[in-house]
Amino acid sequence: MEPLDELLRGVRADGAIFDRAWLPAPWEVRLGGELSLTLCALLQGEGQVVREDGEPQPIRFGEAVVLQGPEKFVVSGAEDARVLAVTYRISGHVPRRLLHILPPVLVLPYDTECSKTYDYLQSLTLGRQVVLDRLVDWLLVCTLSDWFDRPEAESPAWFRAMNDDVVGAALRAMHADPAGPWTLARLAQHTGASRTRLAKRFADLVGESPMAYLTDWRMALAADLLTDDSGTTVAAVARQVGYADAFGFSAAFKRVRGVSPTEHRSDPLVTGRA
């Protein structure tokens, strides 16, 4: 599984807000105010987006705009427009990592691979909400992927490293099977590189060792598993992220996250039961 896909795991549309609504001029839509990502697109017309303390940024037909909460935004226009907007509430530790690597406002021009979706969005039969939800899910993934590939994007080191034959292969392996019995030797064998070359190349491109990256990724996954309301035991979570026993997992979790798995699970600010 691609690391970006994994970050978006569980981030799904649930009824696109304004469902391609036709808004007569002058119009204004207020967005944000919670931990979220909002995808906004003008299917017809032009407008602008304004942060609470920022300058207006123009939005043109076909451009995809991703807004990051909890900051509030106002999207408005002086001419009639057809607007699609959908808000993704970010609740897990894995998808929440997206918020640390994205700018508050991201605008992607019309002339990208994502642009091909707009004609279909405009022609889609009303009432097919499930189809619309999946289309905007794809549009969010496409928009973020295209953004990270652009030279002006400050993409994270692991994302840029995906293009490296050795490091990219190691990253994909760890994300595809985080519970696997990975060691530096096994990762080197998987990538076809020596342990020395993999360790140096990984540190140069990602900024940490392969095993440190794997531990951090496993603990992020575990943090979500501990609070997913399934009642999974700490021992079961440990096995799902590659630890043979709960003791070793608990020690690693506390070292990385600062609290024990039990304390993490009972924290109302983490579970949303505050």
pLDDT in tens, 20-66: 567 888 988 888 777 778 888 888 888 898 887 778 888 888 788 88
Q: Decide if pLDDT at 251 tops 90.
A: yes
User: Do residues 225 and 175 touch, judged by C-beta distance below 8 A?
Assistant: no
How far is Cα 266 from Cα 254, in angstroms, rounded to an integer?
14
How far is Cα 75 from Cα 3, in angstroms, rounded to an integer?
31
Q: Decide if pLDDT at 18 tops 60.
A: no
* Among 262, 244, 190, CA closest to 253: 262
Band the pLDDT of 127: cuts 50, 70, 90. low
Q: Decide if pLDDT at 125 tops 80.
A: no
How far is Cα 265 from Cα 274, in angstroms, rounded to an integer?
13
* Among 220, 212, 209, CA closest to 253: 220
User: Do residues 17 and 83 touch, judged by C-beta distance below 8 A?
Assistant: no
How far is Cα 105 from Cα 72, in angstroms, rounded to an integer?
11
Strand order in the sheet with 36-44: 21-23, 81-89, 36-44, 64-68, 105-108
Instruction: Tell me which architecture the domain covering 3-148 has in CATH.
Output: Sandwich (2.60)
How far is Cα 115 from Cα 108, in angstroms, rounded to an integer?
10
Q: What is the average per-residue pLDDT within 215-226? A: 92
How far is Cα 111 from Cα 87, in angstroms, rounded to an integer?
24
User: Do residues 232 and 225 touch, judged by C-beta distance below 8 A?
Assistant: yes
- Superfamily (CATH H level) for 160-271: Homeodomain-like (1.10.10.60)
pLDDT at residue number 151:
76
Domain boundaries, the chain: 3-148, 160-271
How far is Cα 78 from Cα 48, in angstroms, rounded to an integer?
9
- Mean pLDDT check: name the lowest of 41-55, 113-127, 238-252: 113-127
Q: What is the average per-residue pLDDT within 140-162? A: 80
Mean pLDDT, the chain, integer: 82
pLDDT at residue number 10:
57
pTM of model > 0.85: no
pLDDT at residue number 272:
45
